[in-house]
Amino acid sequence: MVNILFENAKLFDGEKFVDNSNFGVNTASGKIISSNNDFDNKINLHGKYVLPGLINAHTHIVADHTGKINQLGSPDNTVVKSTYLALKNLNDLLKDGVTYIRDVGSIFDIDIELAKLEKAGELIIPGIIASGSPLTMTGGHFSEGSYEVDGEDEVKKYARKLLKKGADNIKLMASGGVSFSGETPHDIQLDENELKAAVIEAHHKGRTACAHAQGTEAIKNAIRAGVDSVEHAVFLDDEAINMFIENDTYIVPTLVAPWAINQNSEILPDFMVEKSISIEKAHFESIGKAAKAGVKLAMGTDSGTAMNNFNENSSFELELMVRAGATPLQAVQSATKNAAELLKIDDMVGSIEENKLADFIVIEENPLEDITTLQKEKEVYKKGKLI
């Protein structure tokens, strides 16, 4: 057992950085301990900023964003290729300061099984809130990688199957999207009653449910159904924004997903590029309005979609949120305390407090003054160990 005292840090307390802060780490348990303990080593962090490890609430770790090994939703994917990619992508996320994730579209239950191995201490990777395979209507969004369900009874059955396997979250497809042909972001897919059937099952088990919803009506269906978060939320009107606030529902914006497509338009399919370009402005405007209205935001990237990488885009997503209209504080909170509360892991992560996991990052500049500093060189600690 080694106890390490980190001293003289500028420590993020959820609202601001507090000068001359000390905290202890027990490397055996991987947890934060009181600074009043006896310590074997001391590390002076004078002048440096410390904040909790980032939490990415929307990933697809089994996917290859370059399309060289596999593509999201391809029927040709295999367990071996997908597991290899998942481990590679998880390690890339660590490099960007991400110490916990929610995966919202896996195959072969890879995220569920890797989550178990990480909890058992067999792997040094970000912690995982696993969803397994999403639920979509027959022929719906991401149908090749999802359980196709129609009607409330089928939704209940497959939600229960996922929960039996150990899923922490149920991912639902409420609308069409950008990445697949034959649909648009405005298409309503699983309806309000179908969504609600899955939400009820998840909440009965103390788990969460989230919905991919880009069009306005699908977003409202998802909120009325009781989901914990709406993913993307591209087209928001005033009524939808008020519904988020009234129902305490989070938005996971994933602004970087269309940005990545639009930056690589010359090498991607025309149907994908056309849809992505058509939504980018509305997406930024919607998230900006939601942020200014006080809707709770949780950071997510949708990494694994086309050209949307794992090693840089979590910190870059925070910059895009600020460009859209969020404050730097809202952006930092979205990747720390907010994401932890959404994922129901705030008893373990999201802040640097005694008995929580020693997941934190050390940087040279204040991200509340310049959010882009999170994209620069950083020291990443996972369970008290420098990665």
Average pLDDT over residues 39-53: 97
Q: Is the pLDDT of residue 75 over 90?
A: no
Neighbour count for residue 223 (Cβ, 10 Å): 23
Reported confidence tier of residue 131, pLDDT bands at 50, 70, 90? very high
Rounded Cα distance between 323 and 255, Å, is 10
Q: Give the model's pLDDT for residue 230.
A: 98
Q: What is the pLDDT of residue 272?
A: 94
Is residue 73 scored above 80 in pLDDT? no
pLDDT band at 232 (very low <50, low <70, confident <90, very high): very high
In terms of phi and psi (left: phi > 0; alpha: psi -120 to 50; beta: otherwise), the region of 249 is beta
* pLDDT reported for residue 76: 83
Here the tokens at position 271 are 């149907």
H-type helices in 325-384, by residue range? 328-334, 337-342
pLDDT (tens digit per residue) in 170-186: 999 999 999 898 999 99
Backbone phi and psi for residue 338, each to the nearest 5 degrees, phi listed first = -65, -50
Tell me which residue of 264, 253, 365 sits closest to 308, measured CA to CA: 264
Average pLDDT of the segment spanning 230-253: 98
So what's the pLDDT on residue 150? Answer: 98
Question: Half-sphere exposure (CA, 13 Å, Cβ side) for 229?
Answer: 29
- The pLDDT tens digits for 192-227 are 999 999 999 999 999 999 999 999 999 999 999 999
At 258-303, the pLDDT tens digits run: 999 999 999 999 999 999 999 999 999 999 999 999 999 999 999 9
72, pLDDT greater than 80: no
**CATH node for 3-52+351-386:** 2.30.40.10
User: CA-CA distances (angstroms) from residue 182 to 138, 139, 151, 176, 268?
Assistant: 13, 10, 22, 9, 16
pLDDT of 71 > 80? The answer is: no
pTM: 0.97
Read off the pLDDT of residues 315-350 as tens digits, 9 standing for 90 and up. 999 999 999 999 999 999 999 999 999 999 999 999
Q: Mean pLDDT in the chain?
A: 97
Topology at the third CATH level for domain 54-342: TIM Barrel (3.20.20)
At residue 181, the pLDDT reads: 86
1 pLDDT higher than 80: no
Among the listed residues 152, 166, 55, the one whose alpha carbon sits nearest the alpha carbon of residue 112? 166
Domain segments of the chain as ranges:
3-52+351-386, 54-342
Same fold for the pair 3-52+351-386 and 54-342: no
